[in-house]
C-alpha cells in the first residue's frame, strides 16, 4: 500500500526497489536511543507551551520509554517499509498509545529531527572518545617518566642524528595527542547546538520554545537559522577531520613501533598479547596491532573525503543526499574508538631495550654535533668546527670507532684545540644532559615536561 506517513498525496505505492533504495533504517537504527531522547524533550516542550496536554505528554513519554526497552532488549521489529529510524519509532508509538502518538510530530520535521539525533549521538561518542584519549595520554606520560633517562638515537631522514631520551620521544607523541584533544573539544562546541524547531526548513507556526528544548537536551543554544540548522553537516565533517588528524598521528606512532620491534632496530618489545604469529614461519612475532591502526587511517581519510564531497554544492536547505552522512560518520567513530582503545591498552606495555637503544645511538656518531659545539666554545668558528668533526667521523668510519672511543691523540689529529675534557661531551649521557632547557631532551627536562603534561590533563 501507499506509505502511511505521506500516502494522502500519492496515487500509487512506492516501487519496491525504490523503497529499499531510499530506506536508511538498516544503519540509522543506531540513532534510536537518541531519537527517543530528542522526542521526549520535544513532547515535554510542546506540553510546556500548551500544544500538548500533560496527559498526552505523559502517554507519549511512557510509550517511548517502553519502545526504548524493546530496542535495548533487541525485540523491536524494524521495518524497511517505514524507511528510517524516525518513522519506525513513531509508528510503533501510535501502535501502542493510539491517536496521541500521531501528535508527537507536531511542529517538527524529520529534517530537524535527524540533525538533532546525530548531534546528540555524536556528542555522547565524543565524550567516550575523550575518556580514551585521556587514558592513552596518561599511559604515555607514565611511560615517559619511567624512560626519562633511557637514551636512544634521535633521527632525521631516518638517519641517526643526535641522542635523545626515549621519554622525550614519548612526550612528543603526547603533545600530538594533546592537540588532537583540543581539536575534539573545539569540535564538540559546534556539535552542541540544537536544530530542533527548524522543522522542515522555515520554522513552525506553533508557539514553540526552543530554549526549553535546548536546555532539556543539554545543548548550548538553539541553532540561529532554520535553513542552516537542517541542512549543514559541517559538524560531522569537522569531527571526521579531527579523526583523520588523530589517525595520522597514530599511524606515525604505529610506524615507529613496527620499525622498533624489527630485528634491525630491536629497540622495544611489545607483549605477545598485542602480536600474532605466522602460520608458516615459526619464528615470527608480528606487530599486527600497530600495523592495523596504520592501515585503518586510510578508511578515515576516505570518510572525510566522502563527507566533504557529500556536502559540496548542496543548495539550501535539506536534501536527501544528507542521508549518506551516517555510514561514514559511524564507521569513523568505530575506527577511532578501536584504534584508541588498542593504543591505550598497548602503550603502557611497551618495554624498552635500553642496551640496544644506547648501542644504536653510539654506532651512528650521534654526538658529532656535541663535538662541534665543544670546539665553538673554545673559539673555533662553527663552519670550521663542522669540517673538523667531519674529518673525525670519516676517520672513525675507517677505523670502526665511535668518537667517544677514540684516543685523545687520535682526535687531536684534526684539531689542536681538543683537550682531555672533550670526553665529557662525547658520551651519550653528557650529550642529552646538555640539552637542558624547556622543550629539550635532558632527563630533568623530560621529568618536568611530564609533570606539566599531567597537570594539564588534571585541569581539563
Q: How far is the CB of 318 from ligand ARG (least distance, A)?
A: 6
CA 20 to CA 125: how far, in whole Å? 29
| Residue of 24, 34, 278, 404 with catalytic role | 278
Residue 437 interacting with ligand ARG (CB under 6 A): no
Which member of 111, 174, 192, 415 binds ligand ARG (CB under 6 A)?
111
User: Reduced to 3 DSSP states, what percent helix, strand and coil does the chain have, rounded to the nearest 5?
Assistant: 65, 5, 30
Catalytic status, residue 251: no
457 phi, psi to nearest 5 deg: -65, -40
CA 432 to CA 443: how far, in whole Å? 7
**Could you tell me the three cell numbers for 64?**
517511548
Distances (CA, A) of 286 to 99, 263, 281, 294, 310: 61, 11, 11, 14, 38
Nearer to ligand ARG, 84 or 132 (CB): 84
- For 128-234, strand residue ranges (E) read 151-156, 159-165, 193-194, 221-222
Which member of 33, 46, 82, 84 binds ligand ARG (CB under 6 A)?
84
**Could you tell me the three cell numbers for 77?**
521489529
- Name 232's Cβ contacts closer than 8 Å, sequence gap at least 6: 311
Residue 306 interacting with ligand ARG (CB under 6 A): no
Which window, 154-162, 231-239, 317-325, 431-439, contacts ligand ARG (CB under 6 A)? 317-325
**Could you tell me the three cell numbers for 41?**
524533550
Catalytic status, residue 415: no
Residue 323 interacting with ligand ARG (CB under 6 A): yes
- Name 51's Cβ contacts closer than 8 Å, sequence gap at least 6: 106, 107, 206, 207, 208
Residue 231 interacting with ligand ARG (CB under 6 A): no
Residue 114 interacting with ligand ARG (CB under 6 A): yes
Which window, 72-80, 148-156, 256-264, 316-324, contacts ligand ARG (CB under 6 A)? 316-324
| Residue of 11, 157, 313, 437 with catalytic role | 157
Q: How far is the CB of 87 from ligand ARG (least distance, A)?
A: 9
Which member of 34, 42, 110, 296 binds ligand ARG (CB under 6 A)?
110
Which member of 231, 297, 322, 392 binds ligand ARG (CB under 6 A)?
322
Residue 180 interacting with ligand ARG (CB under 6 A): no
Nearer to ligand ARG, 194 or 442 (CB): 194
- Number of residues in contact with ligand ARG under rule CB under 6 A: 10
The helix (H) or strand (E) run that includes residue 352 is strand 351-352
Looking only at the bridges linking them, the beta strands covering 159-165 and 151-156 are antiparallel
DSSP string covering 263-318:
TTT--EE--GGG-B--SS-TT--B-HHHHHHHHHHHHHHHHHHHHHHHHTTPPSS-
CA 408 to CA 429: how far, in whole Å? 19
Q: How far is the CB of 118 from ligand ARG (least distance, A)?
A: 8
Which window, 2-10, 44-52, 56-64, 108-116, contacts ligand ARG (CB under 6 A)? 108-116
**Site for ligand ARG, residues 26 to 55, rule: CB under 6 A:** 28
Which window, 9-17, 143-151, 319-327, 359-367, contacts ligand ARG (CB under 6 A)? 319-327
Nearer to ligand ARG, 148 or 329 (CB): 329
Nearer to ligand ARG, 87 or 253 (CB): 87
Distances (CA, A) of 183 to 170, 177, 293, 452: 20, 10, 20, 20
Residue 320 interacting with ligand ARG (CB under 6 A): yes
Residue 24 interacting with ligand ARG (CB under 6 A): yes
Point out which residues bind ligand ARG (CB under 6 A). Answer: 24, 28, 84, 110-111, 114, 318, 320, 322-323
Please identify every residue annotated as catalytic: 157, 278
Amino acid at each position: 500500500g501507499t506509505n502511511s506517513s505521506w500516502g494522502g498525496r500519492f496515487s500509487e505505492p512506492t516501487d519496491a526497489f525504490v523503497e529499499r533504495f531510499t530506506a536508511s533504517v538498516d544503519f540509522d537504527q543506531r540513532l534510536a536511543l537518541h531519537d527517543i531522547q530528542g522526542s521526549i524533550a520535544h513532547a515535554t516542550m510542546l506540553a510546556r507551551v500548551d500544544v500538548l496536554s500533560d496527559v498526552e505528554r505523559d502517554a507519549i513519554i511512557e510509550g517511548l520509554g517502553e519502545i526504548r526497552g524493546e530496542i535495548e532488549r533487541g525485540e523491536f521489529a524494524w521495518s524497511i517499509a517505514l524507511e528510517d529510524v524516525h518513522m519506525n519509532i513513531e509508528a510503533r508509538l501510535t501502535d501502542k498509545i493510539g491517536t496521541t502518538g500521531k501528535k508527537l510530530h507536531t511542529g517538527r520535521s524529520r529534517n530537524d529531527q535527524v540533525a538533532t539525533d546525530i548531534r546528540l549521538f555524536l556528542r555522547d561518542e565524543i565524550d567516550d572518545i575523550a575518556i580514551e584519549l585521556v587514558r592513552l595520554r596518561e599511559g604515555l606520560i607514565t611511560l615517559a617518566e619511567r624512560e626519562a633517562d633511557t637514551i636512544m638515537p634521535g633521527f632525521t631522514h631516518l638517519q641517526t642524528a643526535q641522542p635523545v631520551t626515549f621519554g622525550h620521544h614519548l612526550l612528543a607523541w603526547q603533545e600530538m595527542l594533546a592537540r588532537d584533544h583540543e581539536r575534539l573539544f573545539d569540535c564538540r562546541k559546534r556539535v552542541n547546538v540544537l536544530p530542533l524547531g527548524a522543522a522542515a526548513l522555515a520554522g513552525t507556526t506553533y508557539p514553540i520554545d526552543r530554549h526549553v528544548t535546548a536546555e532539556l537536551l543539554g545543548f548550548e543554544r538553539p541553532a540561529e537559522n532554520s535553513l542552516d540548522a537542517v541542512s549543514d553537516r559541517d559538524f560531522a565533517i569537522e569531527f571526521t577531520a579531527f579523526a583523520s588528524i588523530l589517525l595520522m598521528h597514530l599511524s606515525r606512532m604505529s610506524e615507529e613501533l613496527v620499525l622498533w620491534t624489527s630485528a634491525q632496530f630491536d629497540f622495544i618489545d611489545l607483549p605477545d598479547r598485542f602480536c600474532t604469529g605466522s602460520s608458516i614461519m615459526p619464528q615470527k612475532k608480528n606487530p599486527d596491532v600497530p600495523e592495523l591502526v596504520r592501515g585503518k587511517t586510510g578508511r578515515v581519510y576516505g570518510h572525510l573525503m566522502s563527507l566533504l564531497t557529500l556536502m559540496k554544492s548542496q543548495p539550501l536547505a535539506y536534501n536527501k543526499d544528507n542521508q549518506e552522512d551516517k555510514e561514514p560518520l559511524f564507521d569513523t567513530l568505530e575506527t577511532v574508538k578501536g584504534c584508541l582503545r588498542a593504543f591505550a591498552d598497548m602503550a603502557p606495555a611497551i618495554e624498552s631495550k635500553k642496551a640496544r637503544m644506547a648501542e644504536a645511538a653510539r654506532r651512528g656518531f650521534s654526538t658529532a654535533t656535541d663535538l662541534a659545539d665543544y670546539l665553538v666554545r673554545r673559539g673555533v668558528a662553527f663552519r670550521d668546527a663542522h669540517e673538523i668533526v667531519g674529518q673525525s667521523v670519516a676517520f672513525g668510519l675507517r677505523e670502526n670507532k665511535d668518537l667517544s672511543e677514540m684516543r685523545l691523540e687520535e682526535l687531536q689529529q684534526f684539531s689542536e684545540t681538543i683537550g682531555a675534557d672533550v670526553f665529557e661531551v662525547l658520551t651519550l649521557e653528557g650529550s642529552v644532559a646538555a640539552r637542558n632547557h624547556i622543550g629539550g631532551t635532558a632527563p630533568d627536562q623530560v621529568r618536568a615536561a611530564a609533570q606539566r603534561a599531567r597537570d594539564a590533563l588534571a585541569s581539563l
